[in-house]
Structure 1
Amino acid sequence: MPLDRMLRNLITWQRADGPPVPVRAVGVEQARARYLANTVVPPRAGAGPHAAVTAVDRSVDTPDGATFRCRVYTPETDEGRVVVTYLHGGGWVLGDIDSHDRACRSIAVSLGAVVVSADYRRAPEFPYPTPLLDAVAAARWTARRFPGRDHVLAGDSAGASLSVGVALHARDTGELGLAAQLLLYPPVDPRLLFAAASDHAQGYLLTVDDMAYHYDLYVPDARQRSDPAVDLLNADLRNLPPTVVATAEFDPLHDEGVELADKLAVAGVPVRHVPGPGLVHGYFLMQDIVPAAAVRSERVLEELAGVLRPAPGPGRAAAARYAGAARGE
């Protein structure tokens, strides 16, 4: 399928003054400001279903004595059954709970669920494993405050990578009792072999060089890049919770996302792969400006809802099976 027309126009407009400046040439602070400018959508007073979502900021304590923010979204349609821990994208370096505010509101409305968005500490100030440990702390915080609900881990891009890392930790420790995962265009191959060989390695908003730079900041110690929580394609993926993997056609990370979905299936994990024809990396944050992104995002969330409401039993049955397997039962 050809690149979506609106995305093609957006890319052409961004190149009007010359090729985009690589993230490594911009610097972290300027890149963070640019990312926020491109992702934060000012709310329209009283407009749309997002207006029916309340948001409250809370604090999460970490084992090392630090704290970070989380934002708790509660829709008017909260059914009291599902809670989502959401881990934002941005290459472990960019992004925060403000950049993903609209995305979390859309999840809350679509699922009728509480969403807890974690403002985990970012690289380079806090390289691996701190963002992952904060993600685990956020999931624990969610589980304590919303007991009895089907607990979903979700994330886009770097946040999706962290989500898998949290799921691996939960499996190995027997905690959290997760019902499902939602992984939006996850980076799972720190060697970038799939991305470098992609037909879309550059020219479609995210480039392989950008990803290489983010890995350099996130995991500066090359020895740690073989850790299962980083090198996810070579991790033991057995007994992870049912998973929805969403990919984008014009994304350097497309092929490794497909490979992850295949490996999850081989490992016996119930997995649904939702392709993103004509779309680019980051489309989940473009729902307000790209109709095709909104349509595909709705489809992704419908697939997640299907995982949580399998016939004949509810999502917690899958969670119980997963938790039992994690304990070796």
Structure 2
Amino acid sequence: MPLDPACRDVLGILAASGAPPLDELPLPEARAAYDQLAAFAGAPAPVASTEDVSAGGVPARLYRPEGEGPHPVLIFLHGGGWVLGSAAGYDTVARGLCAGAGAIVVSVDYRLAPEHPFPAAVDDVRTAALWVRATAASLGGDPARLAVAGDSAGGNLAAVLANELPGTFALQVLLYPGTDLTMSHPSVVENGEGYLLTRAAMTWFTDQYVGQLDRRNPRVSPLYAAEETLAAAPPALIITAEFDPLRDEGTAYAARLAAAGVPVEHTSYPGMIHAFFALGGLVPAAERARDQVCAALDRAWNRAPAASA
């Protein structure tokens, strides 16, 4: 399909701003500019309450839905190439998931590279997840109904986390995830220029995050996890975008999980660009994707809740 008109409009707005690419800005400016993309996320959904918490020592923002609990609990991991992004910048996304899924959402502010390179982010999300698992009931949540979701770099971390904590989650939701930091898939070249996330930016992000470390390490690139590790992973919803450099590695990860016997729902959104899920104020498909995510979470939590540990 051709590029979706709404995505074309987003790219036009960004081009008209005259701002340099994020990977060409000083780091503080790049982080501020990335968080300003939240203006494209649309109106924030109302939730019962929000609270900044310490998730085992890791900063996080907790969202509670309306209604009586105990509620299921979703751990959300923001994108930004392990270098940019924050819970504050993803506030509208987290609110939408909280309200749409009727779930407590714990949005994790994991440490960022290059100040804190790999494995700091992995260690932080694991620490936060163990805290959620241990304290869900006291938060008003149901420890037997947990899930993890993330977009882009957050999708990478969500996949790694699901592999490292088998039996914890009823579902992993991976939104255009980075699963292979070797950048060896055809879509990296095919969609590497002109569609928001560029090949140059991907190189910059991965260099900041892992430097010269082995990029086939499964904690870096979950596509290279052992088959027995993937076989123990929770069911997955994987969303990819047609005009995304990460498209092929998301597709490849869906195929590896399915080959290992994991139930997988994979949807490739035609005409979409990277990050479209967070552009709900301008891209109508974002709402459809959010509804798909919330429906998948509801099915997972009510059909096959994870075992409490």
Does 2:287 align with 1:298?
Answer: no
Shift of 1:43: 8.6
Does 2:22 align with 1:31?
Answer: no
Q: Distance in 1 between matches of 2:280 and 2:48?
A: 17
Could you tell me which runs of 5 or more consecutive residues in structure 2 were left unpaired when the two chains were aligned. Answer: 138-142
Tell me the TM-score normalised to structure 1 length. Answer: 0.85
Name the structure 1 match of 2:140. Answer: none
Alignment RMSD (CA, Å): 2.2
Shift of 1:153: 1.0
Q: Distance in 2 between matches of 1:233 and 1:68?
A: 26
Name the structure 1 match of 2:259. Answer: 266
Q: Distance in 1 between matches of 2:99 and 2:30?
A: 30
Q: Distance in 2 between matches of 1:263 and 1:155?
A: 19
Q: Distance in 2 between matches of 1:17 and 1:127?
A: 31
One-letter amino acid of the counterpart of residue 177, structure 1: T
Deviations, residues 217-253 of structure 1 (Å, cap 9, x unaligned): 0101323x22111122111222101111011111110
State the SS of the aligned residue for 2:270. coil
**Closer/same/farther in 2, CA of residues 40 and 145 from structure 1, 3 Å limit:** farther
Aligned partner (choices 137, 140, 149) of residue 154 of structure 1:
149
**Closer/same/farther in 2, CA of residues 38 and 197 from structure 1, 3 Å limit:** closer
Does 2:168 align with 1:169?
Answer: no
Name the structure 2 match of 1:326. Answer: none
**Closer/same/farther in 2, CA of residues 300 and 195 from structure 1, 3 Å limit:** farther
Contact 1:32 1:94 in 2 (8 A): yes
In the TM superposition, what are the counterparts of 1:181-260 in structure 2 within 5 Å? Answer: 181-194=172-185, 197-223=188-214, 225-236=215-226, 237-260=230-253
Q: Distance in 2 between matches of 1:280 and 1:238?
A: 30
One-letter amino acid of the counterpart of residue 315, structure 1: A
Contact 1:164 1:229 in 2 (8 A): no
State the SS of the aligned residue for 1:268. coil
Does 2:108 align with 1:118?
Answer: yes
Percent identical? 37
Shift of 1:299: 2.1
Higher RCO, Cα 8 Å, sep 6+:
2
Deviations, residues 90-128 of structure 1 (Å, cap 9, x unaligned): 100101001111111111111111011111111111000
Name the structure 2 match of 1:282. Answer: 275
Name the structure 2 match of 1:102. Answer: 92
Contact 2:146 2:170 in 1 (8 A): yes
Name the structure 2 match of 1:64. Answer: none
Instruction: List structure 1 segments (4+ residues) > 4 angstroms apart after TM superposition.
Output: 40-44, 195-198
One-letter amino acid of the counterpart of residue 28, structure 1: L
Q: Distance in 1 between matches of 2:283 and 2:41?
A: 16
Q: Which moved more, 1:184-193 or 1:52-61?
A: 52-61
Name the structure 2 match of 1:8. Answer: 8
Could you tell me which runs of 5 or more consecutive residues in structure 1 were left unpaired when the two chains were aligned. Answer: 62-66, 324-329
Shift of 1:24: 2.8
Q: Distance in 2 between matches of 1:8 and 1:161?
A: 26
Deviations, residues 24-65 of structure 1 (Å, cap 9, x unaligned): 321221110110111256996xxx7x223310111133xxxx
**Closer/same/farther in 2, CA of residues 270 and 78 from structure 1, 3 Å limit:** farther
State the SS of the aligned residue for 2:171. strand
Q: Distance in 1 between matches of 2:185 and 2:288?
A: 27
State the SS of the aligned residue for 1:163. helix
Q: Distance in 2 between matches of 1:53 and 1:159?
A: 25
One-letter amino acid of the counterpart of residue 48, structure 2: V
Contact 1:195 1:256 in 2 (8 A): no
In the TM superposition, what are the counterparts of 1:39-58 in structure 2 within 5 Å? Answer: 39-40=38-39, 50-58=45-53
Q: Alignment length, in residue pairs?
A: 301
Tell me the TM-score normalised to structure 2 length. Answer: 0.90
Contact 2:42 2:279 in 1 (8 A): no
Q: Distance in 2 between matches of 1:278 and 1:304?
A: 25
Q: Distance in 1 between matches of 2:9 and 2:286?
A: 14
In the TM superposition, what are the counterparts of 1:64-83 in structure 2 within 5 Å? Answer: 67-77=57-67, 79-83=69-73
Q: Distance in 2 between matches of 1:218 and 1:77?
A: 40
Deviations, residues 247-267 of structure 1 (Å, cap 9, x unaligned): 111111011111110110001
Q: Distance in 2 between matches of 1:24 and 1:77?
A: 43
**Closer/same/farther in 2, CA of residues 165 and 58 from structure 1, 3 Å limit:** same
